[in-house]
A = this chain, B = another copy of it.
Amino acid sequence: MDFFDCISLAKAQALIEGTLADIVVSIEEVELLQALGRIAAEDIAADGDLPPFNRSTVDGYAVLSRDTFGAGEGIPAMLTIVGEILMGQAAETDILSGQAVAIPTGGMLPAGADAVVMLEHIEPSGNETLLVLKPVAPGENVVSKGEDIKTGAVFITAGTKLTSAEIGALAACGTSRVKMRRRLTVGIVSTGDEVVDIGATPAAGQVRDINSYALAAILTEAGCQVSCYGIVKDNYAELLQIIDKAVAENHLVLVSGGSSVGVRDHTVRVIEELGQQKVIFHGLAIRPGKPTILGMVGEVPVFGLPGHPVAAMTVCQTVVLAAVKKMQGGKPLRVGCQVSAKLTRSCASAPGRDDFLRVRLIWHEGEYLAEPVLGKSGLISVLTQADGIVQIPAEASGLYAGDVVSVEVMREA
């Protein structure tokens, strides 16, 4: 397979978008803390005002702001203290002009009051009298009922991935159960006569099943529920049976190995048989990762990934995760974890394909340097030495030392 037979990454991404346009996991209602890291299935609106009452943001005295106009160190406003607000309790009486009520941070303003004078700006004058040394404006040191979030306001939109910020906002609005997208279930199949389980000692010529673990880890990081279907020898009937089972039990299936064009390539035939000819693409103009397949078996995408672990992981992180996000119902992220960095050495790249280059990030004199982790094609040690990936786009013939590149960070806090 030449790169001439491959489709571009952009074309593949458009095909994924189109093919999966209407395929989204279903909805379930979960306890609030179970929603962390998952995708909101619908817009969520507040069913009450936040705060539910006018609330003081400081320790001080609730007053009518106009009683303090013109007050200063030399000409304090004199007010009568008529009571005290306790935390968690409603104000018992309204206040009138000339009156003040002691109030703690978070306390509920009594009716009549429209501002709070901070303790720093008063002077006591006898038991029941207060001197205000600085005027307050209407609303000063107060958050009004509904000022934070109004009843009916959508404060989380469908497709948002919930972080601790959204969990806090949902708790504030009293939402103890939320409708979320189900976790995407993913089945992983490894193929290859040479592949043995990682617990086994490989005989001469054999290799361990790295892909089942590495792909499971990537998809777990992305919030999926992963099932591994073990290692299938290069046997068409057996592969057909396992993929059929994995498709029946999951939203998405990955088959690693067996995707290069060769005598033992069965994945395409399986997709054609199970999916009635629904191969979406076969061969991607990217490196590493050229022998990538996407087919559909009913509503289940089946990706054939390269057998080589670094290639399989790169395709999983760049192409499969795009499908995962689409199916999880998430909206496109406005912010990713990309850092700008200066490339430390020039890297050639064949025009017409997207190259994914693993780099190590080095903080140097106030900027990041991106040092390509070199080594022969696809060494495993490249993985643990790299901090992120730089994409060299198809239209570029390479990058020069000193070029500022965007690095997708793979290891974070």
List chain A positions with a Cβ less than 8 A from chain B.
32-33, 36-37, 50-53, 57, 59, 85-91, 104-108, 143, 147-149, 155-156, 161, 163-172, 174-176, 192-195, 198-210, 212-214, 216-218, 220-221, 234, 260, 262, 264, 307-309, 313, 321, 333-340, 361-363, 368, 375-381, 383-384, 386-388, 409-413
Contacts and interface: CB of A to CB of B under 8 A. Distances in A.
Contact of A33 (B192, B205, B216): B216
| Main SS at interface, chain A | loop
Contact of A148 (B193, B202, B381): B381
17 contacts: A32-B213, A50-B381, A89-B204, A90-B205, A149-B381, A163-B221, A164-B313, A165-B383, A168-B217, A168-B309, A168-B313, A171-B198, A171-B208, A174-B200, A335-B361, A337-B337, A339-B339
Nearest to A107: B205
A180 to B, nearest CB: 14
Nearest to A2: B120
Nearest to A330: B413
A361 B337 CA distance: 12
A36 to B, nearest CB: 5
Contacts of A200: 174
A288 to B, nearest CB: 11
A260 B262 CA distance: 71
A167 B218 CA distance: 9
Contacts of A262: 59, 104
Nearest to A194: B88
Contacts of A198: 32, 171, 174-176
A169 B106 contact: no
Contacts of A193: 86-88
Nearest to A140: B376
B381 A106 contact: no
Contact of A335 (B205, B383, B412): B412
Nearest to A226: B33
A366 to B, nearest CB: 10
Q: Which 8 A-B pairs have the closest CB atoms?
A: A88-B194, A168-B214, A90-B204, A164-B217, A165-B383, A108-B205, A171-B213, A167-B217
A262 B171 CA distance: 26
